[in-house]
A = this chain, B = another copy of it.
Amino acid sequence: MNPSQRLDRTFAALADPTRRAILARLSLGAAPVTELAGPFAMSQPAVSKHLKVLERAGLISRGRDRQRRPCRLEAKPLGDASGWLEGYRRFWEGNFQRLDALLDQMKTLKKRERTKRGKHR
């Protein structure tokens, strides 16, 4: 699977509050499915489906403890996603948006200029 597809799956996995909550819980340590399901008002199969999404995204891995399948956080894909976002850091820290906005404003002014001229056509 190529890096773009990996980003697809990572971001898609993160685009759900249940899955983000599961990751938050796993950041405190590995946990079996039942414990992960506890806080949610949904069936166990629903949680298992969310876990499969997280697993396919590489965000969790599963072990074996008797009849339990403990889940553990695997954060590398989070690191990759964070790396991707870093490429845009200057846009929310700097004033690149204002530059664009300025250009837009200039165009708008030009347009109004034209409109004025148009009025006494």
The chain A residues found within 8 Å of chain B, CB to CB, are 4, 7-12, 14-17, 20, 23, 27, 29-30, 63-66, 70, 72-76, 78-79, 81-82, 84-89, 91-93, 96-97, 99-101, 103-104, 107-108, 111
Copies in the complex: 2
B29 touches A17 (CB 8 A): no
Nearest-CB distance from A92 to chain B (Å)? 3
Nearest-CB distance from A109 to chain B (Å)? 11
B81 touches A23 (CB 8 A): no
Whether A8 touches B12, Cβ cut-off 8 Å, given contacts A73-B100, A78-B88, A85-B82, is no
Nearest-CB distance from A112 to chain B (Å)? 11
Q: A8-B17, A73-B88 are in contact. List 18 more A-B contacts (CB 8 A).
A: A10-B15, A12-B12, A15-B15, A27-B91, A29-B100, A63-B104, A64-B111, A66-B111, A70-B104, A72-B97, A73-B97, A75-B96, A76-B92, A78-B85, A78-B88, A79-B89, A82-B89, A82-B92
